[in-house]
Amino acid sequence: MLIRKPTDIPPSEITPRAVYRARRRFLLAAGAGLAASLLPAAAAGVTVQPQVRRKLSPIVRGPYGTDEKLTPYEYVTTYNNFYEFGTGKSDPARNAGTLRKSPWTVAIEGEVKKPKRIALEDLLKLAPLEERIYRMRCVEGWSMVIPWVGFPLAKLIDWAEPTGNARYVEFVSLADPEQMPGVRVPILDWPYTEGLRLDEARHPLTLLAVGLYGEALLDQNGAPLRLVVPWKYGFKGIKSIVGIRFVERQPVTTWMRASPREYGFYANVNPEVDHPRWSQATERRIGEGGLFNRRIKTLMFNGYAEQVGQLYSGMDLRKYF
């Protein structure tokens, strides 16, 4: 199947410095085509690995959603960041389809009263599945509107019963070189890790997602379990989660290790604080307008300031970026 790709984003806005410096090494190891990989977002098409598409049910309509136009399914599922499957935007769809998603377990660890390795099917019993239409914003300047399916992370937190020492939640992705070609190359410090402050993790906007568009997540979108935090930049949305740790100290996440000047712990969408290499004041919606896609104004906290602004009251958002 061939899917048309956006052509309006220059290569300089696609890949972080720490990654594009290592791209040639990755290509040699992964065996990808040079021309296609140098222009992942401008490629004329991408051959998608076949995967079984599975409907999810029952699903209820969740709160906080936007009524903005949805990003078409073909863009949501072929224009992705998931470096375990490659550094180009189209690489995950091209290389995915190899994850062994069953059985899948998640280790709940650290400062909790119920440390346990829990099966995905048991996780899904903690709360009804909800569909929530969220704006999503990538640090490189592109954005989407996606109908996620999942349940509030707060439900898992309540079940795990954090101790009084728990102040942060750390997430860990699967890192299996047999299933994920990108892990064979040390572009990042594998496994991929991310983190939230405990109050951010408890916020009702924060989802553990298992699907989108009413279907189970495809591999390139983070199957079978990923994090969705819509007021933060997309790299906070860790994929293929196998570990959730409750910790006392702020974790050092993967992108903080790779480039601390560019990627902070909080990663809140903030049009007033630029990335060192580009402005964050505007964005482009993927799938709208092609080459002539207009830029739109980026909203504070991605438009969720009313819901989450109080979490950062009194903080210097230029220092805690």
Output 40 or 242, whichever has higher pLDDT. 242
Domain membership flag for residue 27: no
The residues, ordered by sequence, that sit 6+ positions from 33 with a Cβ below 8 Å of its Cβ are none
Domain membership flag for residue 4: no
Q: What is the pLDDT of residue 289?
A: 75
Residue 120: both structure tokens together: 């995905």
Q: Which is it for the CA torsion 125, 67, 72, 279, positive or negative?
A: negative
Q: What is the pLDDT of residue 16?
A: 55
Domain membership flag for residue 184: yes
Q: What is the pLDDT of residue 294?
A: 85
Q: What is the pLDDT of residue 71?
A: 97
pLDDT in tens, 269-312: 999 999 999 899 999 999 887 667 789 999 999 999 999 999 99
pLDDT, averaged across the chain: 88
Domain membership flag for residue 75: no
pLDDT in tens, 87-132: 999 999 999 989 999 999 999 999 999 999 999 999 999 999 999 9
Q: Which of 17-21, 261-265, 301-305 has the lowest mean pLDDT?
A: 17-21
In total, how many domains does the chain have? 1
The CATH number of residue 287's host domain is 3.90.420.10
Q: What percent of the chain has pLDDT over 90?
A: 79
Domain membership flag for residue 43: no
Q: What is the pLDDT of residue 236?
A: 98
Domain membership flag for residue 127: yes
pTM: 0.88
Domain span holding position 214: 54-70+102-310
Q: What is the pLDDT of residue 35?
A: 33
Domain membership flag for residue 288: yes
Q: What is the pLDDT of residue 290?
A: 64
Could you say which DSSP state residue 189 is in? Answer: -
Output 74 or 43, whichever has higher pLDDT. 74
Least Cα distance to 30 among 77, 93, 89, 95 occurs for 95
pLDDT band for position 234 (cuts 50, 70, 90): very high
**H or E stretch covering 20:** helix 17-20
Distances (CA, A) of 317 to 92, 168, 180, 273, 281: 32, 19, 35, 8, 15
pLDDT band for position 19 (cuts 50, 70, 90): low
Domain membership flag for residue 270: yes
